[in-house]
Amino acid sequence: MRCLRALLPAAALLTAAACQQASVLPVTAPPLLAPTSLSASAALSSSCSGCHGAIGPAPPGFGHLDAEALSERLATYKYDPTGTTVMHRLARGYSDEQIEMISAYLAMGQTND
């Protein structure tokens, strides 16, 4: 316990110095991805791989669907007022534009089974 008490003043000084140093550094936000960016679409679609497998080729279960059909299904999940599944909850977290981006990206890897 004595060791900890001896270290506390030093830790406080280091923390204060770090805070002072951090306050003079310029703060810049990371660049935003364009809504049509492939990397933004890939990032949004990555959450699908948790249940549907790896992205590209299309996740199992809807690999045969085109972008419009995928978008319609995601919108159905989003706007179903009584839906309580994981898909309903996930879809409600995306804007309509993001749903379009996800659908277009996933459709790029579709397999015409």
In this prediction, residue 110 carries a pLDDT of 54
Backbone angles phi, psi at 37, to 5 degrees: -65, 135
How many Å is the maximal CA-CA distance in the chain?
Answer: 70
- Which residue segments constitute the domains of the chain, with CATH numbers given? 29-108 (1.10.760.10)
Per-residue pLDDT of the chain in tens (113 residues, 90 and over written 9): 555 455 556 555 555 555 554 444 444 544 544 445 678 888 888 888 777 766 555 555 666 789 999 999 999 999 999 999 889 999 999 999 999 999 998 888 754 44
Distance CA(24)–CA(103), nearest Å, equals 43
Please name the helix (run of DSSP H) or strand (run of DSSP E) that holds residue 8, with its range, or none. Answer: helix 2-24
In this prediction, residue 29 carries a pLDDT of 46
Query: Is the Cβ–Cβ distance between 62 and 70 less than 8 Å?
Result: yes
Mapped to the 3 state alphabet, what secondary structure does 50-87 carry? Answer: HHHCCCCCCCCCCCCCCHHHHHHHHHHHHHCCCCCCHH
